[in-house]
Structure 1
């Protein structure tokens, strides 16, 4: 079992639900990465999704897109992010998941990226602009390095595609809870419960809900029907405001979510 999958399942086995915050590496400067990750780790998160800024972020909503622009303005690159993470990797005790687009990986060199990412503490990779049919471009190198390739599974995909994505996803299944880009929302599709039930039919890979989750109530509600949540825009916004109280409330909700 991979380190990422094991971390999620062990959290669920304790009666909690997985909580995975998203941060944009380089937003506010790369010197913020270490204290932010260590603080989140201290709060008891299950894993951390580390966003890599990109010039054409097709899956990102306004909050994360702006954070990416700020990070790019600071000179943030994929290589610099991995170097930063590697510099304190011995202090990180939870899995990191890189959210990056395909071009930076290709420019880096797939094999070199996989090796450097593992050394930096990366145990999972999400590539939102990589078609399912092109996964073999990166999967062999990631697998050899010990890194999971996590798939995004959307409500709008065909049943056949959902089955393929679910069976291929490693570490966890990233269940997209809204139609469209990331960003905080007030409501979600009514068919989500049924969607999660279908995903469970294909394998035992943990299911994490993401996109639009922004309140403790969202965290509790989603965690009742899946194994945990990913919170992006709200975390990014709170970090920009140095609002750790809001982040703590979100994490706390995942600890209470298993109690109906």
Structure 2
């Protein structure tokens, strides 16, 4: 059993749904990213997605694109991300998932990338622009290393959903909204039915992301999915930390970090029914 499978097994026993926040490594600095990962773990994060900064993040909207640009300007590169995971792994109980793109993985070498991820302590990888038809090597490397290759599923044919679900590792990531990442005011119509159609094809947990940014949205998704991914709404708060850091406002940096963690805790709360009733 992989660490991610273990995470969902534990959550199922307690009736919780997974809270999966996203941070871009190096935004606003590697040191602050490390602090935030530790604090997110303490705030109840079950799985933490760590974005590898990339100059052409096709699946990401302007908020996460800006976070990647800040991180790249800080000099953050793939080896820095692996080293970040290596340092933080002993400090947190959450599973750690790298979010990257096909080009950097192929440049590194697929087998070498998965081996490096394993040695650093990563538990999963998401490569949103790697289609199923081109994922055979990565899936094999995931099986060999125990670093799950987590597939994304958006609205498509039932036949394709079946194929993606059958090949999936770790969990299935359902895209809640068409287009790129970014906070939406409301959830898409038919989202629950879409998730149910995926759940019918797999025994893996099914989580929902893209556009989720409010506790009430997390609560709604928690009624029919196994977990919730929140990215842009958290990266927005990373941007506020970056602004305070650039202004030399040390007090503001600490205040913005605290606001980010408090916001994260507010998203986890509705996914933990036992905590609400105590």
- TM-score class, shorter-chain normalisation, is over 0.9
Residue 245 (structure 2) aligns with = none
Residue 57 (structure 1) aligns with = 57
Residue 127 (structure 2) aligns with = 127
Moved runs in structure 1, 4+ residues, more than 6 A?
257-260
Unaligned runs of 5+ in 1: none
Whole-angstrom CA distance in 2 between matches of 1:137 and 1:177: 27
Q: How much has 1:86 moved relative to structure 2?
A: 1.0
SS in 1 for 2:272: helix
Q: In 2 relative to 1, CA 12–259 (structure 1 residues): closer, same or farther, beyond 3 Å?
A: farther
Q: How much has 1:92 moved relative to structure 2?
A: 2.7
Residue 253 (structure 2) aligns with = none
Point out the structure with max Rg over C-alpha.
2
Query: Aligned-pair RMSD on alpha carbons?
Result: 1.7
Q: How much has 1:19 moved relative to structure 2?
A: 0.3
Residue 86 (structure 1) aligns with = 86
Q: Answer whether contact 1:238 1:247 (CA < 8 A) is retained.
A: no
Larger helix proportion, structure 1 or 2?
Answer: 2
Residue 206 (structure 2) aligns with = 207
Unaligned runs of 5+ in 2: 241-255
Q: Answer whether contact 2:150 2:170 (CA < 8 A) is retained.
A: yes
Residue 21 (structure 1) aligns with = 21
Q: In 2 relative to 1, CA 259–199 (structure 1 residues): closer, same or farther, beyond 3 Å?
A: farther
Residue 68 (structure 1) aligns with = 68
What CA deviation, in whole Å up to 9, does each residue of 1:199-227 have, x standing for no partner? 12112100101000000000000010111
Q: In 2 relative to 1, CA 4–201 (structure 1 residues): closer, same or farther, beyond 3 Å?
A: same
Q: Is residue 2:270 matched to residue 1:253?
A: yes
Structure 2 length as normaliser, TM-score?
0.88
Q: How much has 1:196 moved relative to structure 2?
A: 1.5
Residue 114 (structure 2) aligns with = 114
Report which stretch shifted further, 113-122 or 174-183. 113-122
Q: How many residues align?
A: 259
What CA deviation, in whole Å up to 9, does each residue of 1:60-102 have, x standing for no partner? 0111010011011111111111012213322232210111001
SS in 2 for 1:45: coil
